[in-house]
Amino acid sequence: MTVILLGGATVFGWAAGWWPIRTVANAHAHGARLHRPGVRTAIAVAAAAAFGLVAWGVGWSPLLPAALLFTAAGVAAAAVDLVEHRLPNAILAAGTVTVLAAIVVASWVHGWGLLFGSLAGGAAMLASYAVVALISPRSMGMGDVKLAGFIGLTLGAFGVTPWLVGLVAAFILGGIVALAALVSRRASLASVIPFGPSMVAGAIVALALG
């Protein structure tokens, strides 16, 4: 059953990345770079890998729909952030509403503690990022703060450990990306490197670890 879930989620992720996720990202991107064939393939591959990892970690759980909905919205938002250095409010808002609705349904089945954890996790992560943004506005934008609320909302339903893993993993991955960009001379100390993709990847790592 796990193999079926993993294979089905991976195939579904590829299909979703190739069309609906990319379509949503394109609809909220100002530029035309997301229309390039190579970018289309990259989004499909990223979505397939993300869906497979999330399905592997979450398994047959009432929270699986919420996790996959988060993954779809996260990949779309990260794609726009990579090319335009911004996180579209419409994607984050729609993702938050749909994921929250899925968590409410899961809470109806598994207990309202899931919803409480979700709301507490969203508020806590949003507040954590907001503090960083206030201290260093150049390194953390309000789009990142809003994405943090979305991520915290999702991971909070899974418990404290996944929430902490998602928080820490985002900064570890972001540091690795920044260091690689500096070493390869693709960026300088004055460059702005989008943090949204690292945040989404960190959340996916947290969900994959279960």
* pLDDT < 70 regions, the chain: 1, 31-32, 187-190
Residue 35: predicted pLDDT: 72
Distance CA 148, CA 70 (A): 12
Ordered DSSP codes for 1-61:
-HHHHHHHHHHHHHHHIIIIIHHHHHHT-SSSGGGSHHHHHHHHHHHHHHHHHHHHHH-S-
Residue 193: predicted pLDDT: 87
List, for residues 29-76, the tens digit of each pLDDT value: 876 677 777 888 999 999 999 999 999 999 999 999 999 999 999 999
Residue 31: predicted pLDDT: 66
List, for residues 69-80, the tens digit of each pLDDT value: 999 999 999 999
Distance CA 56, CA 9 (A): 9
